[in-house]
Amino acid sequence: MKQKKPSGRHGNAALALGVAGSLLACSVLPAGAAGLSAGAGLSPDHAQLEQSPDHQQNFPAAPVLNPAQKGWVERIEDALASTRMIQARFRQTAANGEVTNGSLILERPGRMRFTYDPPSPLLLVADDGKIVFQDKSIDQITTLPADHTPLGILLQPHPRFRGDITLTGFKQVGNELFLNVVRTSNPAEGELTLIFTAQPLTLVGWNVRDAQGHVTSVRLSDVRNGWVPLPPKTFRLPKPKQ
């Protein structure tokens, strides 16, 4: 099997790696875990972006949040950090309209696996600081450092939307919360939009906009929370054939 270095092309590997970023981000949070009653009347207005000299130097703009919005962000951070394992089905819609389905296993921090349903030949596994994408149809493997993709944002033990990660937008529309995040050091690599329901606080979807502007959408279903022992091979990284 030949091993491929990442390229700028928007092929299967780029698509799956981008989607994985959001998949990991998307742990469905336990209902009630973040004190949902506060802020229930938050308006759907977008947080306004605050410009500063730093932003003129291509740093991402940070939104000005009102107290209710800050409360939501903190509750989401805390609930996400407390999530140990997620198992779910996912439905992925690519920028070209192509729809694929599969199964996700996320063991926080740092490990995940999602397998696309047949006839798709795709598999993606993350462990040991790496993301490995396998396309069996062309006998190819692509490896990236986890912290070089949107995926790395939520592989962290204690995700925080500040410092290395910048929250670039927040809004509430009805019962849904939308958080846009990028890597502070390299916002051009892509933006992740997390979509939660407010009541109960549950992550119900996410979008990834990659460096080329392509947007891939993912939705979860049949979600199971709570840690259970899994076979060691679950997160075994695919390797090139000898």
SS3 assignment, position 70: helix
Where is pLDDT greater, at 54 or 125?
Answer: 125
Between the alpha carbon of residue 153 and those of residues 82, 101, 195, 221, the distances in Å are 15, 23, 15, 22
Task: Give the total number of structural domains in the chain.
Answer: 1
Tens-place pLDDT, residues 135-158: 988 888 998 888 776 666 667 888
Where is pLDDT greater, at 202 or 229?
Answer: 229
**In what helix (H) or strand (E) does residue 10 lie, and over which residues does it extend?**
none
For residue 117, being part of any structural domain is answered with yes
C-beta separation of 6 from 142 below 8 A: yes
For residue 239, being part of any structural domain is answered with no
Give the range among 7-16, 151-160, 191-200, 216-225 with minimum mean pLDDT.
7-16
Residue type for position 10: H
Confidence of residue 51 (pLDDT cuts 50, 70, 90): very low
Give the range among 13-17, 101-105, 189-193, 203-207 with minimum mean pLDDT.
13-17
Q: Answer yes or no: is pLDDT of 134 > 60.
A: yes
C-beta separation of 101 from 117 below 8 A: yes
Backbone φ and ψ for 78, nearest 5 degrees, come out as -65, -45
pLDDT at 32: 26
Where is pLDDT greater, at 223 or 73?
Answer: 73
pLDDT at 223: 81
pTM for the predicted model, two decimal places = 0.71
Q: Which long-range contacts (CB under 8 A, 24 or more apart) does 119-125 make?
A: 122/12, 122/16, 123/238, 124/16, 124/17, 124/20, 125/235, 125/236, 125/237, 125/238
pLDDT above 70 covers what percent of the chain? 72
For residue 237, being part of any structural domain is answered with no
Q: Answer yes or no: is pLDDT of 113 > 70.
A: yes
What would the two tokens of residue 12 be?
A: 């299967």
Which domain covers residue 95, as residue numbers? 11-225
- List the Cα angle 93/187/84 in 5-degree steps: 65
Please confirm whether the linkage preceding 240 is cis (ω < 30° from 0). no
Per the prediction, the chain carries an average pLDDT of 76
For residue 201, being part of any structural domain is answered with yes
Where is pLDDT greater, at 116 or 204?
Answer: 116
Q: Which residues contact 78 (CB under 8 A, 6 or more apart)?
A: 33, 34
pLDDT at 146: 82
C-beta separation of 139 from 242 below 8 A: no
For residue 74, being part of any structural domain is answered with yes
For residue 212, being part of any structural domain is answered with yes
- List the Cα angle 118/120/123 in 5-degree steps: 105
Between the alpha carbon of residue 166 and those of residues 46, 93, 160, 216, the distances in Å are 16, 25, 9, 20
For residue 5, being part of any structural domain is answered with no
pLDDT at 234: 93
Span 95-103, mean pLDDT? Answer: 93
- Domain CATH for 219: 2.50.20.10
